[in-house]
Structure 1
Amino acid sequence: MYNGARLIRVFDVPEYSGRTPVNMSHPPRRSGVKVKPLPVELDGLACERDERELFASLSLRLEPGEVLQVAGPNGSGKTSLLRIMAGLLPPSAGDMRYGGNSVYHGAGREDWRRQRLYIGHAPAIKGALTAEENLAWLCALSSPVGTEQIWQALEQVGLRGFEDVPCHNLSAGQKRRVALARLYLEQHPVWILDEPFTAIDKAGVTALENHIMAHAQQGGMVIMTTHHGLDHLPGVRCLDLGQAN
């Protein structure tokens, strides 16, 4: 049983290089933070699954421009916490507020869903649709995008030439990159990402790191789980669910 978690701030890391993602000579027009997010507050959050407490008394505050890595051993509740923060799973106790309003009730709930982009561990890609069709469908849920923008986003994630390929013909890593292309299309100020570096190659990892840091530098907020080390990135906060206060 965990009674909270230790919050660590990473210091003494190399200065961010400021390099832009690959192929940025023609960046998608929709990328970037249009509206800066408001503070996010966790107040005594707890989660139980199958009558087992995963975490409890979890409280912290995130400001615009921050990157939070959620860490911990398997079964500590990392994915559950991200789903709770995305508003997809209710906490067993506590509350989460965005700009002072609960994200689980009333107008605050709808506002939060407009502000955050959640990409889960499973890519949520339909195999019968092409990469382009998948992105058009996913983005239509918030704000439609054009074909040119989609092709540019796919180029950013290394999938130039795969626009018309049905996704059931893509590898796991390629499907993951199709999902991550949404980060170059949608303008949600808050990103919630579950293991975003899974199944992508070294070049893709570097490009995604750069894009995440650029989003934060523009005032966006990123919350993610990952087994990929982030110690070399400046100012990343780490919330360890496996360590009690």
Structure 2
Amino acid sequence: MASRSTFATAPKPLRADDLACFRGGRMVFERLSFTLDPGELLYLRGKNGSGKSTLLRLIAGYLRIHGGTLMVGDDAWWRGDAALSEALIYAGHDNALKPVLTLRENARELTRLMTGHAVGDVALADAADVFGLTGLLDQPVRYFSSGQRHRSNLMRFAYLKRPLWLMDEPTVGLDTENREALAGLMRAHLDAGGMIIAATHDPIGVEGAMIDMRDYQPKVSLEEAWL
């Protein structure tokens, strides 16, 4: 069972006001506002291309804000802010794993890059146990199935202590047992005062607020529609 987290940085509210993002030659979303307090979960819903992944990547610092503001506590967010990067974990569609390394080596490398420290063997073993990966810790990732790689990618949430989790379609490829493990991990994180933003089409079984990205699609004027 997941234990209460001791975060590297204290959780602070995340507030977005009239956010807009332009990408690929189009405005993906605009006028998007929300507040996420410690202990809260926010789901992002909407069809493919509606901006769920874009919003997560924007918050993670991979994309620019083209309108509005994003605040972490009383501080304005800005791209490349070291304080923000120390406060979050992001897991996207692509599994950030090096195939030639073992799962243990991948975890150690990620921890070193994100924290400058090594992950302890006990913490790593506990994290692997959450998703049934204990027997695979010393196997090269290139031999893993797609489901095992996805669970290995999610495992970072169990050993990296960050208050804000950004999760992009975390349930993809998970069976019932591992969905329940994910839900338990998320509940423990929220109980400890952590925050989660999850883009998903599937119910996870953890209570949270929801943003429908369709509500923030750009409004096309009649004049623009005829161009």
TM-score strictly above 0.5:
yes
Q: Is residue 33 of structure 2 the alignment partner of residue 59 of structure 1?
A: yes
Q: Which structure 2 residues correspond to residues 92-131 of structure 1 after superposition, within 5 A?
A: 92-104=66-78, 109-131=81-103
Give the 3-state SS of the residue equivalent to 1:164 in structure 2. coil
Give the 3-state SS of the residue equivalent to 2:86 in structure 1. helix
Q: CA deviation at 1:193?
A: 0.8
Which of the numbers 186, 191, 211 marks the counterpart of 1:239? 211
Q: What's the counterpart of residue 126 of structure 2?
A: 152
User: Does the 8 A contact of 1:41 with 1:59 survive in 2?
Assistant: yes
What is the one-letter code of the residue matched to 1:166? P
User: Does the 8 A contact of 2:29 with 2:216 survive in 1?
Assistant: no
Give the 3-state SS of the residue equivalent to 2:155 in structure 1. helix
Q: CA deviation at 1:105?
A: 5.6
Give the 3-state SS of the residue equivalent to 1:161 in structure 2. helix
- Measured against aligned partners, the alpha-carbon deviations of 1:62-112 in whole angstroms (never above 9, x if no partner) come to 111100011111111110000001111112212211012122168xx2111
Q: Which structure 2 residues correspond to residues 69-218 of structure 1 after superposition, within 5 A?
A: 69-104=43-78, 109-141=81-113, 142=115, 143-218=117-192
Which of the numbers 15, 21, 30 marks the counterpart of 1:47? 21
CA distance in 1, matches of 2:74, 2:110: 29
TM-score, length of structure 2 as denominator length: 0.88
RMSD: 1.8
Q: Kindly report structure 1 stretches of 4+ aligned residues shifted beyond 2 Å.
A: 33-36, 146-149
User: Does the 8 A contact of 1:128 with 1:167 survive in 2?
Assistant: yes
What is the percentage of aligned positions where both structures have the same residue? 34
Task: Provide structure 1 residue ranges, at least 5 long, that are not aligned to the other structure.
Answer: 1-19, 22-26
Task: Provide structure 2 residue ranges, at least 5 long, that are not aligned to the other structure.
Answer: 218-227
Question: Which protein has the bigger helix share?
Answer: 2
Give the 3-state SS of the residue equivalent to 2:187 in structure 1. helix
Larger RCO: 1 or 2 (CA < 8 Å, sep 6+) = 1
CA distance in 1, matches of 2:14, 2:102: 36
User: Does the 8 A contact of 1:132 with 1:147 survive in 2?
Assistant: no
